[in-house]
Amino acid sequence: MAAFLKRIFGMAPTREPDGEGYIPSPLGLRLGVDSKSGYRPADFGGRRYAGDRKIMVLCTEARYLAMTNGALFSTGHNVQETAVPLMHLTAAGFDFDVVTPTGAPAILEQWSVPKKDEAVLAFMQAHRAKFDAPLSLAALVTQGDLDERSVYAAVFVPGGHGAMVGLPDDANVGRLLRWVSASDRYLVAVCHGPAAFMATTQTGDGPHPYAGYALCAFPDSIDRKSPSIGYLPGALPWFQCEQLAQQGMQIVNTGANGATHVDRKLYTGDSPKACDALGKLVAEALLKDLAA
């Protein structure tokens, strides 16, 4: 009876048409996916970066996140959370490279596309090739490209539950994040992006480099409730805020209302609602820093 009622009220997770997983229920999509993003153009006072420093966009190449009940959530990176910060950064003159653990295509949640947002749709179409043919993080690490001469001024980890798959247990992601900290570069993440920070525990190099930092992230409390409306097809196997707190980080938000937080060169946001402000904050910081 409960399963029947969930179907009637649009609360049952939906089988994806082209795979073995589930996407959010109709109710989950209505509540969790915007038809238009919060993107609002900014001109940055006429300033535009003209140097060779870039943004590295770290993405997962894994599509499925297994729930505790065995159901597979068909995920990846949220399209709004990926596009909107990059729209501001590119408007400020910064180019970006997409990087995945092995160079396999980055996975985006196609069901998360804000279908009525022409600006986001046009941006993703223009840059689709970067996501389809990314660089390999393993190759960058092996080749010694992560040093003081690196062109990357910042690493950005978009949100979406996909950030919980393949990135947190990748030692090269851990090496990348330790390099970002040690070289005093910018680290940017939104929503579930901070889940990737757990990768530093894979390197065996001592305490988490961002222990003692404060950040915003998507709240565990909402993730725990998500199965009840069918956004997730079951309970998550672990929760990012809980794990990050155990590594010494402080989560400063309790909701998902668009909060951002800056702690030194760690820039974070809590949800899709935070992406417009987060992108502007990071662009302003980089324009100021790299103009010095």
Give residue 7's pLDDT band: very low, low, confident or very high (50, 70, 90).
low
Mean pLDDT of 254-259: 97
* CA 284 to chain CA mean position, Å: 20
Mean pLDDT of 267-284: 98
pLDDT of residue 5: 41
Q: Is residue 141 part of a domain?
A: yes
pLDDT of residue 52: 95
State pLDDT tens for residues 163-178: 999 999 999 999 999 9
Closest CA to 209 of 199, 219, 218: 199
Neighbours of 92 (CB within 10 A): 20
- Active-site entry in 191, 216, 241, 275: 191
Q: Is residue 45 part of a domain?
A: no
pLDDT of residue 6: 59
* CA 121 to chain CA mean position, Å: 18
pLDDT of residue 10: 81
2 pLDDT more than 80: no
Q: Is residue 41 part of a domain?
A: no
On whether the CB atoms of residues 66 and 237 are closer than 8 A, the answer is: yes
Mean pLDDT of 68-87: 98
On whether the CB atoms of residues 65 and 24 are closer than 8 A, the answer is: no
Q: Is residue 36 part of a domain?
A: no
On whether the CB atoms of residues 163 and 196 are closer than 8 A, the answer is: yes
- Number of domains composing the chain: 1
Mean pLDDT of 118-138: 98
- Can 59 be counted among the known catalytic residues? no
Q: Is residue 114 part of a domain?
A: yes
Q: Which of 1-15, 31-45, 57-71, 116-130 has the lowest mean pLDDT?
A: 1-15
Q: Which residue has the higher pLDDT, 118 or 9?
A: 118
pLDDT of residue 1: 41
Mean pLDDT of 5-28: 86
Q: Which of 4-18, 122-136, 174-188, 223-237 has the lowest mean pLDDT?
A: 4-18
Strand partners for 262: 267
Q: Is residue 118 part of a domain?
A: yes
Please give the mean pLDDT across all residues of the chain.
95
pLDDT of residue 276: 98
Q: Is residue 14 part of a domain?
A: no
pLDDT of residue 4: 45
The residue segments making up the domain with residue 62 are 2-9+23-31+52-291
How many angstroms separate the CA atoms of 66 and 56, rounded? 27
For the chain, give the secondary structure using H, E and C: CHHHHHHHCCCCCEECCCCCCEECCHHHHHHHCCCCCCCCCCCHHHCCCCCCCEEEEECCCCCEEECCCCCEEECCEEHHHHHHHHHHHHHCCCEEEEEECCCCCCCEEHHHCCCCCHHHHHHHHHCHHHHHCCEEHHHHHHCCCCCCCCCEEEEEECCCHHHHCCCCCCHHHHHHHHHHHHCCCEEEEECCHHHHHHHHHHCCCCCCCCCCCEECCCCHHHHHHHHHHCCCCCCCCCCHHHHHHHCCCEECCCCCCCCEEEECCEEEECCHHHHHHHHHHHHHHHHHHHHC
Q: Any idea what the CATH number is for the domain that residue 155 is in?
A: 3.40.50.880
292 pLDDT more than 90: no
Mean pLDDT of 70-80: 98
Q: Is residue 17 part of a domain?
A: no
Q: Which of 14-23, 27-36, 199-208 has the lowest mean pLDDT?
A: 199-208
Burial profile 131-148: b = 16 or more Cβ within 10 angstroms, e = fewer: beebbbbbebbeeeebee
